[in-house]
Structure 1
Amino acid sequence: MGLDDISQKPHDRLAAWLTDDMAAVNALIRERMASEHAPRIPEVTAHLIEAGGKRLRPMLTLAAARLFGHAGDHHVRLAATVEFIHTATLLHDDVVDESERRRGRPTANLLWDNKSSVLVGDYLLARAFQMMTETGSIRVLRILSDASATISEGEVLQLTAAQDLRTDEDVYLKVIRGKTAALFAAAAEVGAVVAAAPEPQVEAMRRYGDALGIAFQMVDDLLDYGSTAAVIGKNTGDDFRERKLTLPVIKAVARADAAERAFWVRVIEKGDQREGDLEEARALMVRHGALEATRTAALHWAETARAALAEAPDHALRGMLDDLAGYVVARIS
């Protein structure tokens, strides 16, 4: 089941509740992605930002702020900041991964070039830091700057762990906590901080975002071996072709016999991939329960996210955030 096949989608209900805030965020994004001297910057940025992403991360910031009664406009700046950080990482990731498709469209590095993608990503990060400072909150600046550093750290860790079959689940969790969950956690946390929520509830929102991000990435990694490009916005098997050690691969390798391990050495460590290897990889995952085990792990993290919301106020937005955690894993339920 794809995300868009679910009736009354939680992210749509959340977006509807936050309509005015999201309109303000989108207006600010358009304003701040402009460049007087380098028209390629808004061209490249618009290609990705306007490609139909769900905007989950900025919605987390808006929802957390409204959940705790924020009445100002700093949450709009922070939501735009979060989206700029996310967009910058996507531009950089597509260069590193040599990707050709993102959100169902050709990637910026394919349409323009690697240099443009990297430099526009750098520009968006600079813009993000400008907006962070406009809140006047050192704590907000620390949370989002720490998240930016953690994202880069996670990407580098993934790079160094790539194609190394010794990579285990602990390393994998560190990677996805960095490259994905860090921004989910920061997005939810800064929303609560800017609303002056009590400290235990700020921490609860951070835990919610962290667990939601982990579940989100595990589902994405699982779908690479069991879905269609239309569902996940990229080509099925991209992770395999890029020789990424995602959780389904790690679990299958851990349970492999000698012949199966030789297969994984050839296709992942040596990069000698042949016709039918993707199907064989998936068959090995099914044989050893790696896909089902990954599904179980993703569902666990989704429930962890939901449990964190127990400390949030009784509010319609809390119910929507609870539903959102279920929505993230609905593709594999």
Structure 2
Amino acid sequence: MAVVVPFSPADATIERLVELVNADMGRVNSEILSRTGSEVTMIPEVANHLISSGGKRLRPMLTLATARLNGYSGDGHIKLAAAVEFMHTATLLHDDVVDQSDMRRGRPAARKVWGNEASVLVGDFLLGQAFKMMVEVGSLRALEILSSAAAVIAEGEVMQLGAAKNTATTEDEYLAVIRAKTAELFAAACEVGPVLTQRSKAEAAACRSFGMNLGIAFQLVDDALDYGGKAAKLGKNTGDDFREGKITLPVVLSFRRGSESERAFWTQTLEKGEVSDSDFETAVGLMIKHRALEDTIKRAQHYGAIARDALALYPASEMKQALEEAVEFCTARTH
């Protein structure tokens, strides 16, 4: 069983953002293709398997958008956006190995096709290419921001390992994990835009805050969708987090609010891994009972509001409106 979590507004879209950065994204995609080339045949095969699998490329779009929002007119944002996408792709390749995931964006995960070793090593290759592009742009501050993000993301992965299958994880502890693991790359992707134009620290901080809070909202919606989304639109099966024993916010809230017997259910299924066919349906039922999905979405909308507020110092423009609509999309999406 899966319920569809109510989102609002239903017609939220990122079409305006896609349209405004479309020409630049064409150049980013060309850069990505040229940088996946290698005489080692397996490298482009593995990289392109994931790169061409239909992701929205939201993170590089944010780099392009914040550069334009701050009046940038050069070419450096193209390579930085490609670098951001390579960093994201590398983390997906590594994540699937750590999580032993079978599917990614509706296709077999690279590790299922080529094996864990190839997935990890190609991820490392993409990170290397990302850093080469950062250096070529020639902005020491942009290099510092993105290289720091790479370290924080790795810390987040290790933090998540520590929290894995631990039902005693608190909400604060979980938020610390997603800030590092997911939101940090959103923040860095947005911060390098104003940095390229050497705008004030206030503008760089505003864009970073926008990205960080958008990233938190994005991940919280993902958490809810795993229990309340539509599998056909998710690119993965609903319940993957549950079957992998992941402790996400809906679980944290359900465990904290549950009775002794309900907490025993979470301990048995997530900590001990003793899962029967009907347990996912039971899990969703407990989340509905304790408003865990509803409150996870409310948390996401709260962070989305902070993201929108971060852009308040910018004058009205079509790009600013597009970024605000991107927040609505991320908190209202059903896929």
TM-score interval, smaller chain: over 0.9
TM-score, normalising length from structure 2? 0.95
Contact 1:185 1:209 in 2 (8 A): yes
Match of 1:22 in 2: 25
Tell me the alpha carbon deviations over residues 159-208 of structure 1, each in whole angstroms, 9 at most, x when there is no partner.
11111111100110011001110000000000111122221011000000
Aligned pairs (5 A) from 1:236-275: 236-275=238-277
- Partner amino acid for 1:33? T
SS at 2:238 equivalent = coil
In the TM superposition, residue 308 of structure 1 has moved relative to its aligned partner by: 0.6
1:130 and 1:6 map into 2 onto residues whose CA distance is: 41
- Partner amino acid for 1:34? G
Aligned pairs (5 A) from 1:219-238: 219-238=221-240
Match of 1:135 in 2: 137
1:195 and 1:253 map into 2 onto residues whose CA distance is: 47
Match of 2:158 in 1: 156
Tell me the alpha carbon deviations over residues 47-79 of structure 1, each in whole angstroms, 9 at most, x when there is no partner.
111111111000000000011111110000100
In the TM superposition, residue 217 of structure 1 has moved relative to its aligned partner by: 0.2
Percent of aligned pairs with the same amino acid: 53
Question: Closer, same or farther in 2 for the Cα pair 1:10/1:192, shift >3 Å?
Answer: farther
2:198 and 2:61 map into 1 onto residues whose CA distance is: 18
- Partner amino acid for 1:38? V
Tell me the alpha carbon deviations over residues 228-249 of structure 1, each in whole angstroms, 9 at most, x when there is no partner.
2222211100000001000000
Aligned pairs (5 A) from 1:54-133: 54-133=56-135
Match of 2:287 in 1: 285
Match of 2:207 in 1: 205
Contact 1:69 1:195 in 2 (8 A): yes
Give the unaligned 5+ runs of structure 2: none
- Partner amino acid for 1:196? Q
1:17 and 1:265 map into 2 onto residues whose CA distance is: 48
Contact 1:11 1:56 in 2 (8 A): no
Tell me the alpha carbon deviations over residues 64-108 of structure 1, each in whole angstroms, 9 at most, x when there is no partner.
001111111000010000000000000000111111111111111
How many residue pairs align between the two structures? Answer: 329
- Partner amino acid for 2:26? A
Contact 1:66 1:195 in 2 (8 A): no
SS at 2:14 equivalent = helix
- Partner amino acid for 1:45? A
- Partner amino acid for 1:23? G
Contact 1:220 1:232 in 2 (8 A): no
Give the unaligned 5+ runs of structure 1: none
Match of 2:55 in 1: 53
TM-score, normalising length from structure 1? 0.96
| RMSD of equivalent CA atoms | 1.6
Pick which of 102-111 and 71-80 moved more. Answer: 102-111
In the TM superposition, residue 6 of structure 1 has moved relative to its aligned partner by: 6.2
- Partner amino acid for 2:305? E
SS at 1:134 equivalent = helix
In the TM superposition, residue 284 of structure 1 has moved relative to its aligned partner by: 0.8
Aligned pairs (5 A) from 1:182-221: 182-221=184-223
In the TM superposition, residue 12 of structure 1 has moved relative to its aligned partner by: 2.5
Higher relative contact order (CA 8 A, sep 6+): 2
Contact 1:68 1:313 in 2 (8 A): no
- Partner amino acid for 1:230? A
- Partner amino acid for 1:26? N
Q: 2:14 aligns with which of 11, 14, 19?
A: 11
Question: Closer, same or farther in 2 for the Cα pair 1:138/1:176, shift >3 Å?
Answer: same
- Partner amino acid for 2:217? A
Runs of 4+ residues over 6 Å off in structure 1: none
